[in-house]
Structure 1
Amino acid sequence: MLKIKILLISCLLLAAFYLPACDNKPEQKNTRKAVDYIRRIPGTDDSIPARVVQKGEVLIAYSDCYICHKEDQKSVGPAFKDIAERYPANKLYIEMLAQKVIRGGSGSWGYAVMDPHPKLSLKDAKTMVTYILSMKSK
């Protein structure tokens, strides 16, 4: 009789430890929606002269832009190609973005903060932004 009680208790203990270990929950799928990182702004693109693109490329090469930005991958700040995809390449946005480069800012691409560049002339900032916006994929 004692052997039966011990066997019964052993079986109950085994079941008590085994059943919680069985995970009978259905497989959960990722139901989170992807957030549009770029959030394109509608608008028309103006033509961009090749000489402005070349000058902008040189200005950026001699600046500190590549510390926080890369051409085609997100780094501390957004990739240049992502910026080009978001904003229309027209005078209004070139002016706005040039001002943002000079003044600095945050919030457009998450929590990253762009340091101000107060010594940069508005003309050079516009040329640099024009170069960045010329990277838009066609």
Structure 2
Amino acid sequence: MPEKISILTLFVFLARITLLAACQQEAKELPHKKVDYIRKIEGPSDSIPVLVAQRGEVLIAYSDCYECHTREVRSKGPAFTDIAKRYPVTNGYIKLLGLRVINGGSGSWGKSVMLPHPKLSPEDAETMVKYILSLK
């Protein structure tokens, strides 16, 4: 009986090692699929007047935007320059993004969640968005 236990133990041990080696080899062979972070939306862009963009920059400086965003590097939320790369400058996108700033949202940039800013007026939110989109 002791020989059967040791042979069985040896067989189980070898089976585990074989499975472990196969799993490690399979994991190495799988290519890493890169996910496009920006997913640019194609379309023509309008221009944003410099004074409007400057006013938007001031509004952002006095808000809590920089707690989650930076100008050029992704932090909790997307970088402002990445937002500018994704969206064309049109009235429709300016209004959409302005509403997103006011109402909050999630899912557009992965798992990040933007908290709502209900005290912002639609005009101020859209002016802030115009500044962001001017960073192309």
TM-score (norm 1): 0.78
Count of residue pairs brought into register by the alignment: 119
- Separation in 2, partners of 1:89, 1:118: 24
* Partner in structure 2 of residue 106 of structure 1: 106
Structure 1 gap ranges (5+): 1-19
Aligned to 2:36: 36
Give the match's secondary structure for 1:37: coil
| Deviation beyond 2 Å, 4+ runs, structure 1 | none
Distance apart, 1:62 and its partner CA: 0.5
Which residue pairs with 1:82 in the alignment?
Answer: 82
Question: In structure 2, the residue corresponding to 1:111 is in which secondary structure?
Answer: strand
Report the CA distance between 1:78 and its aligned residue.
Answer: 0.5
Matched, 1:50 2:60: no
Q: Which amino acid aligns with 1:84?
A: A
- 1:67-121 CA distance string (max 9 Å, x none): 0001111111010010001111111100000000000011101111101000000
| SS, match of residue 113 in structure 1 | strand
Structure 1 residues 33-70: Cα deviation after superposition (integer angstroms, max 9, x where no partner): 21100001111110110000100010000000000001
Identity %, equivalent residues? 60
Who is 2:62 aligned against?
Answer: 62
Tell me the C-alpha RMSD between the 2 structures: 2.3
Higher helix share: 2
